[in-house]
Every structure is written in structure tokens, then in C-alpha cells.
């Protein structure tokens, strides 16, 4: 099946009789550079794509003026994973893994015992510090979709269903959520959930948003709401890399120039290289400390 034309998009919809809201995310051009950020074995690539689709899905129902990230800290073959979706629709992500191990498909084995999953929203605050909201969940499911369903049931008390589909070309996600309050008829959530269970990953991959609503929720008078485009984008910049170098301290930052005469920092998300000469590094430590921006995570 060809990839539907409405890819690299997020679309929201409503099942009014059932009292259920939904989001569909479909990524192709936005997925390629994320998948290409390392030589990922299939199980890691699948988890990374699921997390990328999920980060985009979660921006639909949360107030995100800055960015939303999905982060995993593991103790197995998969040691770390981060995907981010910003308010402007830009996505990025990467995973760190043991290159020598053969990664298992089950997420619990892949991430190891005690692995944690975090969903974080960072919105611009009034002062310099962003407003940060974070939800944490321990991974107790074989898949990321199951872990996220558990998260929403536990922390938001909102019945939620998630299907995430990933291959080398596309990653896609569908999320159904019961509307807060008592919207919809008594059987609404149950009915939508049964229909949801009939959807196969390849259908989520191959169908347009319109086709999905017509075929999956025929009889529910589904309403397609406004959506938006998504694209790959990285928030790294020379200023942010300079702030990270400054935070290392002069000796360590200077030591990075010793081998090639320049410090070179490569952004792991997008591959962009930033080079600093010893004189430029020197400059980082001669300006008043107050004017150096605090490092914002890695970059
Ligand atoms: Zn970058």
C-alpha cells in the first residue's frame, strides 16, 4: 500500500455520541532523520518510532507552548531514549543502546528491571525558568503503548487506548481517550474501545485520517477537527553548545581543542557540527558569568 498523502501530520477527532476524543499522528519525512540518527537494531528502532509518535500524540490534549518530551531511562540493552515534539510541530529523538547486545522485542527486557518512563511538558515561564510538569511511570508492559495506557489510567485517571505502528518508512499512532466528565452515552467508551481493537498496525500505516474514521468508526458520526503539520527539527544552536562548553569549566573546554586544534561538538539529534577555536573558548570565560545562559539540558 502507498503511504497516505496526509502524512507528517497530527489530526484530532471526536466521537460525540461515544464521548471519546482521538488523535492520529502519521510521520514519514519527520521520521527518517530520527531513525537515521544512529544505526538502530529493529527492536530499538521500533521503540524509538513508537516514542516519537507518542510524543506528538500527547501534544494534542495537553497545553504545550514549549515542548513535550518522552524519556526512558533503562538498565538493559536500551539505556536511554528521548523524543520531543515542540509547539511549532518540530520533532526530534534518539536512543542510546548497547551495540554489542541483541535487543529483545519485549520492552521490559529491552529496558531492564526498574526502567522508568517520563512524560515532561516544558512551557515558557514568565521568568528565565521554564514551567515544568513531569509524570513518571515504571515500565511494566511488553510495549510502550501498554506502558502509556498504564500511565494515563494511573496519573490522569482517563481511560486511554494507544496503537503505535513503526517500520523503516513510517511511524504512526492512534490514541483514543474518554472525554473527562460524563460526556457521551453509557456504553460509549466500551463501544469505541471494541472498534479500536479491530484496527491493525498496517491499517494505521496505510489509511488516511479520513479513511480511518470512515472505516473504523462508521456509525459513530466521527468529526475530524483541526490538525497541524509536523516536521523534523532540532533546537540545537551555537549559543547552546557554547553554554555547555562554558559549564564544563575553562580547563576541560580547552582540553577538547588539544587533539585537532578545535573543539568539535556534534549534535546527536541532527548531526550538526559546531567547532570552537581556543580563542573562541577563551572568549566564553572572559565575558561576565551572568551573561552566559544556563545550559538547557545537553543542547
Ligand atoms: Zn541538533
For residue 7, is pLDDT > 80?
yes
For residue 296, is pLDDT > 80?
no
Task: Give the residue range(s) of CATH 3.55.30.10 domains in the chain.
Answer: 9-232
Q: How far is the CA of 86 from the centre of ligand 1 (A)?
A: 14
For residue 295, is pLDDT > 60?
no
Reference 170, options 228, 230, 118; nearest CA is: 230
The three-point CA angle 113-147-121 to 5° equals 105
pLDDT tens for each residue of 67-100 = 999 999 999 999 999 999 999 999 999 999 999 9
Per-residue pLDDT band for 298 (boundaries 50, 70, 90) equals very low
**How much is the average pLDDT of 274-282?**
94
* pTM score: 0.89
**How much is the average pLDDT of 282-292?**
71
Reference 270, options 233, 226, 242; nearest CA is: 233
What percent of the chain has pLDDT above 90? 80
DSSP per residue over 97-140, as a string? Answer: E-TTS---SSHHHHH-TT-EEEEEEEE--SSSSPEEEEEEEE--
Q: How far is the CA of 60 from the centre of ligand 1 (A)?
A: 24
Measured CA to CA in angstroms, residue 78 lies from 91, 94, 108, 144 at distances of 21, 11, 10, 13
Q: What is the pLDDT of residue 288?
A: 60
Q: What is the pLDDT of residue 289?
A: 53
The more confidently predicted of residues 40 and 63 is 40
Q: What is the pLDDT of residue 293?
A: 53
Reference 82, options 93, 91, 67, 97; nearest CA is: 93
Of 33-42, 88-97, 116-125, 180-189, which range is least confident?
A: 180-189
Listed in sequence order, the residues at least 6 apart from 90 whose beta carbon sits closer than 8 Å to its beta carbon are 230, 231, 232, 233, 234, 235
Cα separation of 225 and 179, whole Å? 15
- Longest CA–CA span in the chain (Å) reads 70
CATH of domain 9-232: 3.55.30.10
Q: What is the pLDDT of residue 299?
A: 43
Q: What is the pLDDT of residue 27?
A: 98
What percent of the chain has pLDDT above 70? 96
pLDDT tens for each residue of 103-151 = 999 999 999 989 999 999 999 887 777 788 999 999 999 999 999 999 9
Q: How far is the CA of 251 from the centre of ligand 1 (A)?
A: 25
Task: Give the residue range(s) of CATH 3.90.1280.10 domains in the chain.
Answer: 238-291
Per-residue pLDDT band for 51 (boundaries 50, 70, 90) equals very high
Cα separation of 69 and 134, whole Å? 9
Q: How far is the CA of 266 from the centre of ligand 1 (A)?
A: 8
CATH of domain 238-291: 3.90.1280.10
Q: How far is the CA of 267 from the centre of ligand 1 (A)?
A: 5
Q: How far is the CA of 148 from the centre of ligand 1 (A)?
A: 27
Instruction: Assess contact for 193 and 228: CB atoms under 8 A.
Output: no
The three-point CA angle 40-41-43 to 5° equals 110
Amino acid at each position: 500500500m502507498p503511504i497516505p498523502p496526509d502524512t507528517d501530520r497530527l489530526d484530532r477527532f471526536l466521537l460525540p455520541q461515544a464521548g471519546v476524543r482521538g488523535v492520529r499522528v502519521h510521520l514519514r519525512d519527520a521520521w527518517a532523520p530520527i531513525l537515521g540518527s544512529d544505526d538502530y537494531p529493529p527492536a530499538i528502532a521500533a521503540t524509538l518510532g513508537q516514542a516519537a509518535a507518542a510524543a506528538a500524540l500527547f501534544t494534542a490534549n495537553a497545553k504545550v507552548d514549549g515542548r513535550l518530551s518522552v524519556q526512558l531511562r533503562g538498565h538493559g540493552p536500551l539505556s536511554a531514549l528521548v523524543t520531543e515534539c515542540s509547539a511549532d510541530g518540530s520533532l526530534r529523538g534518539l536512543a542510546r543502546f548497547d551495540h554489542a547486545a541483541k535487543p529483545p522485542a519485549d520492552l521490559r527486557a529491552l529496558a531492564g528491571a526498574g526502567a522508568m518512563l517520563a512524560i515532561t511538558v516544558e512551557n515558557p515561564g514568565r521568568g528565565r525558568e521554564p514551567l515544568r510538569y513531569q509524570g513518571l511511570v515504571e515500565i511494566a508492559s511488553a510495549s510502550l503503548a501498554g506502558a502509556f495506557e498504564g500511565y494515563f489510567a494511573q496519573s490522569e485517571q482517563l481511560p486511554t487506548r494507544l496503537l503505535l505502528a513503526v517500520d523503516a518508512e513510517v511511524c504512526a499512532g492512534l490514541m483514543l481517550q474518554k472525554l473527562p466528565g460524563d460526556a457521551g452515552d453509557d456504553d460509549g467508551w466500551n463501544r469505541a474501545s471494541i472498534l479500536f481493537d479491530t484496527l491493525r498496525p498496517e491499517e494505521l500505516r496505510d489509511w488516511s485520517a479520513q479513511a480511518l474514521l470512515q472505516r473504523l468508526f462508521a456509525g459513530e458520526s466521527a468529526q475530524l477537527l483541526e490538525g497541524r503539520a509536523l516536521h523534523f527539527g532540532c533546537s540545537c544552536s551555537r549559543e547552546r553548545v557554547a553554554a555547555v562548553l562554558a559549564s564544563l569549566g575553562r580547563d576541560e573546554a580547552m582540553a577538547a581543542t588539544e587533539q585537532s586544534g578545535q573543539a568539535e561538538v556534534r549534535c546527536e539529534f541532527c548531526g550538526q557540527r559546531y567547532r570552537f577555536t581556543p580563542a573562541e573558548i577563551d572568549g566564553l570565560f572572559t565575558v561576565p558569568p551572568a551573561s552566559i545562559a544556563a545550559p538547557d539540558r545537553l543542547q
